[in-house]
Structure 1
Amino acid sequence: MVSINASGAPERPAAPAGAGKLYLAAWRWHFYAGLYVIPFFILLALSGMSMTWIAYLDGRDGEYTRVAVGEAVLPVSVQAEAAVAAIPGGTLIQYVAPRGPGLASIFRVDTGDVASMVTVDPYTAQVLDAFPRRSGWYDFLDNLHGDLLLGVTGDRMIEIAASLGMVLIVSGLYMWWPRQAGWRAALVPALGRGGRVAWRSLHGVLGFWISLVLVFFLVSGLSWAGVWGEKFVQAWSQFPAEKWDNVPLSDDLHASMNHGPKEVPWALEQTPMPASGSQAGAPGLPADQEIGLDSMDRLARRIGFDGRYQMNLPSGASGVYTFSRDSMSTDSPDPTSDRTVHVDRYTGNILADVRYEDYSWAGKAMAVGIALHMGTMGLWSVLANTVVCLSVVFLCVSGVVMWWIRRPAGQPRLAPPPLPRDMPLWRGAVLVALAVSLAFPMAGITLVAVLAIDQLVIARIPALRRVLN
């Protein structure tokens, strides 16, 4: 393992030659991956931490709007009439039930392509506020966190950063793994010597401790990404087809219910929506009962949707009423209580009742993983996420500080770790890089691009070689 002398400069490793050269190769990849990753990780950590606190303290789309508790809650249809009247020419899209007796009901009303949220006092049907959907600070940070406000381009940039983050973790663990110094040096920071040695110890120890947590955050975040998630992982985690036996299906997928940020549970996104217009399904409403907001709300309550839940109204002739509750939407702090129910708009029959227990193992892991990732499981998860986010920021800052101390003073050079020559274990390094590339395609594409630029551009331009080496 490479040691550090009193001046802070790396010495030649005392380990066997082959292992020492592999260490230098890992250090060099760690350095170059960090160049790209650090600004993204700082942004992701700070935006993610802010979102967890905003969601916990203030919610989104008016979900914590307070009201005085009255004698009786008015029918949902009466509240909805007031909400639609507040948006001239609007169409009712969604009802979000309050999670408690002292909170407002929320209605989504659309006019053309504009979605508005209207908060209504459930005891008086008084409209309290109306505002554009997903327009608060939480959603600004959510869009920044998800795609840098750049759409698909930003999504790909963040996916590359998260994928290269796996390279950082693998190379960092390899470098910090105790060989001669023992486990105490790997697990307890040595602060007594000060300078770069202390920074390196803090960086290595903290990175070692949170490595598995960081892998979890990266994988759960990548599962929503456009390439690794939607095309590489999620496509292989289809919802069990037997749940839809003898039920007419729409041409639309559950993903069509997403509007901007992800809203539909990961396990259901690629699953077709049921369609209204048949006699299929289990009995829901009595045949002689009128179908509408009030009867649907009573049905939802009767089958177990207590507290906050969401009711999406049918869209189109074959559309269905959809009741849903999931921790990702902060409906519940318990991801194992996730549930989605589709009801035929004409018969009131229940076409599908999808629960957490019905998810595949990947879907279950994602339901719990996203709740942990977003910190929606209560105050303890908010505090835990805060610790992780601050740790990530420290790792990024300490990496920059170590480079600043190590760099040649007064020289306009990037000064990466030295490139090892004649490395006997190069096949092992290539196999590790190949494994990471296959597991995370965007990392592989980036590694190939960097190697190509290095060989075809930087190696041929002396001025660039001097600055970047």
Structure 2
Amino acid sequence: MVTTNVNVGARETVAPAAASKLYFAAWRWHFYAGLYVIPFFLMLAVTGLCMLWIAHLGGRDGERITVVPGDAPMALSQQAAAARDAVPGGRLMQYIAPREADRAAVFRVDTADGAAMMVAVDPYAANVIDSWPRRNGAYDLADRIHGELMLGVTGDRMVEIAASLGMVLVASGLYLWWPRNGRSWRDALLPRLGRGRSMWKSLHGAVGFWLSIVLVFFLVSGLSWAGIWGEKMMQAWNQFPAEKWGAPLSHANHGSLTNGPKDVPWTLELTPLPLSGSVAGAEGVAEGLPLTIDVMDRFAREIGFETGNGARFQMNLPQGHEGVWTFSRDSMSTDSLDPTADRTVHVDRHTGRILADVRYDDYSLYGKAMAVGIALHMGTLGLWSVLANTVFCLAVIGLCISAVVMWWIRRPAGAGRLAAPPMPRDMPLWQGARLVGLAVSLAFPMAGLTILAVLALDTLVLQRLPGLRQRLS
């Protein structure tokens, strides 16, 4: 190897050495990030598959329960009374309109101690068909594992760390597999079949290369739900400016309407609800009409909340003297196949005036991206999106398995250590690498904190325990 003190041709000979060191450094970071990320990616892919097909085949909240259509539905007030009577001491909270004429109406009724129950009612007979605790099915179990490992805030942070480090994994993986040193674009994009580790490496690299953009989309859209990067940063910067409504604002936000998993538009979740009882608002329900559930149901349909062709709307009833009637159709609740049809309307419970009418066009740019992105992420755009997401989840599982197989083949037999790629000495452009690390830390705080924790562990603990350090290297 020609060193840097050679004047003639030094630029040509040093560059490959520097590139080789950067390659091994990137490989090392890719390896250690993968140690943490792979179990989470496997969990996310498996639970994602479960949610995809459970929602597609059976629905999430009873919307696929069938009934025999009659001449005309009974009055909504009669249906609601039947649902409320099915829960002793219950309080009616929400009505979910049927998507089609042969589907059940679903009501949310809270018990005296605050537990949410869902009640399916035959709209043509006002008879209760079934009832069950809200968000207590197989879909919801998979959802809780997917989002927080059933560990609450702790689990949410662990998943966010994995998704944040996933960005590091994608960036380092692209660098490692980028065509160089005689390898062509065909080698990068098409796996070469064969035997042994080279075949697994080719398969892992090619699939990862193709999947990288889609994986980044899923990571970013998933992180936008997370507690730090999502709620504290992106949602806080993109929540809807409720002040433009001109109505008094509640201390409760739109997220409080669901009493559980996030089922309201992403950009509205942290936005305060308006309050009833003022002179604010635009013309709404005709003056003189009683503001009953029947009148409000008819009014919702008059202003554009149609049902049929797979679409539905939801009505939240006002709670308390200052509560509002809320009509909504949004991608978070899978109310239609068109995420750009999002709409949320609040009506004063005393005057019938429209206090807010928020549509997709009113969202911020990132809010619009999330409305569409959530539908893509969850596979709620029809069968094609379910199939596309299925292929994606299977590809992620394949990437994780191939990574473990490559490590298993490469590791020295009986070495008793992780056999991580060696860290090259005298790293070139190390200041630049630090700047990249700083940028990642600022963009994704949980990744930055994790990297700092690992560096602190290495400096303060592993340096003093050479045996343990050897096993982890």
TM-score by length of 2: 0.94
Classify the secondary structure of the residue corresponding to 1:94.
strand
Written as runs of structure 1 = structure 2, the 5 A alignment for 1:380-395 is: 380-395=384-399
Classify the secondary structure of the residue corresponding to 1:329.
coil
CA distance in 2, matches of 1:266, 1:52: 20
1:422 pairs with 2:423: no
CA distance in 2, matches of 1:424, 1:331: 54
Cα distance, 1:410 vs structure 2: 1.6
1:52 pairs with 2:56: no
Cα distance, 1:450 vs structure 2: 0.5
1:351 pairs with 2:349: no
Written as runs of structure 1 = structure 2, the 5 A alignment for 1:1-16 is: 16=16
Given that 1:19 and 1:425 are in contact with CA atoms closer than 8 Å, whether structure 2 keeps it comes out as no
CA distance in 2, matches of 1:172, 1:226: 27
Given that 2:265 and 2:331 are in contact with CA atoms closer than 8 Å, whether structure 1 keeps it comes out as no
CA distance in 2, matches of 1:127, 1:255: 28
Classify the secondary structure of the residue corresponding to 2:252.
strand
CA distance in 2, matches of 1:328, 1:343: 21
Cα distance, 1:403 vs structure 2: 0.3
Q: Which residue of 1 aligns with 2:282?
A: 282
CA distance in 2, matches of 1:211, 1:363: 23
Cα distance, 1:151 vs structure 2: 0.2
CA distance in 1, matches of 2:251, 2:442: 33
CA distance in 1, matches of 2:225, 2:14: 44
Q: Which residue of 2 aligns with 1:441?
A: 445
Identity over aligned residues, as a percent?
Answer: 68
Q: Which residue of 1 aligns with 2:381?
A: 377
Q: Which residue of 2 aligns with 1:3?
A: none
One-letter code aligned to 2:175: Y
One-letter code aligned to 2:204: H
TM-score by length of 1: 0.95
Q: Which residue of 1 aligns with 2:235?
A: 234
Q: Which residue of 2 aligns with 1:157?
A: 158
1:168 pairs with 2:160: no
Q: Which residue of 1 aligns with 2:5?
A: none
Q: Which residue of 2 aligns with 1:4?
A: none
CA distance in 2, matches of 1:157, 1:251: 30
Cα distance, 1:288 vs structure 2: 1.1
Given that 2:323 and 2:349 are in contact with CA atoms closer than 8 Å, whether structure 1 keeps it comes out as yes
Written as runs of structure 1 = structure 2, the 5 A alignment for 1:12-411 is: 16-111=16-111, 112-180=113-181, 181-192=183-194, 194-241=195-242, 243-244=244-245, 246-307=246-307, 308-411=312-415
Given that 2:266 and 2:332 are in contact with CA atoms closer than 8 Å, whether structure 1 keeps it comes out as no
CA distance in 1, matches of 2:192, 2:244: 57
Classify the secondary structure of the residue corresponding to 1:227.
helix
CA distance in 2, matches of 1:134, 1:261: 8
Classify the secondary structure of the residue corresponding to 1:118.
strand
Q: Which residue of 2 aligns with 1:8?
A: none
Q: Which residue of 2 aligns with 1:10?
A: none
Classify the secondary structure of the residue corresponding to 2:227.
coil
Q: Which residue of 1 aligns with 2:470?
A: 466
One-letter code aligned to 1:265: P
One-letter code aligned to 1:256: S
Given that 1:22 and 1:426 are in contact with CA atoms closer than 8 Å, whether structure 2 keeps it comes out as no
Cα distance, 1:233 vs structure 2: 1.4
C-alpha RMSD over aligned residues? 1.3
Cα distance, 1:462 vs structure 2: 2.1
CA distance in 2, matches of 1:138, 1:229: 23
CA distance in 2, matches of 1:465, 1:211: 32
Unpaired runs of 5+ residues, structure 2, are: 1-12
Q: Which residue of 1 aligns with 2:6?
A: none
Cα distance, 1:251 vs structure 2: 2.1
Q: Which residue of 1 aligns with 2:8?
A: none
One-letter code aligned to 1:177: W
Cα distance, 1:14 vs structure 2: 11
Cα distance, 1:248 vs structure 2: 2.0
Post-superposition CA distance 1:175-230 (Å, at most 9, x none): 111113121111011113x2100100000000000100000000000000000001
CA distance in 2, matches of 1:463, 1:25: 22
One-letter code aligned to 1:467: R
Post-superposition CA distance 1:346-379 (Å, at most 9, x none): 1111111100010010100000011100001100
Post-superposition CA distance 1:107-130 (Å, at most 9, x none): 101012211000000000010001
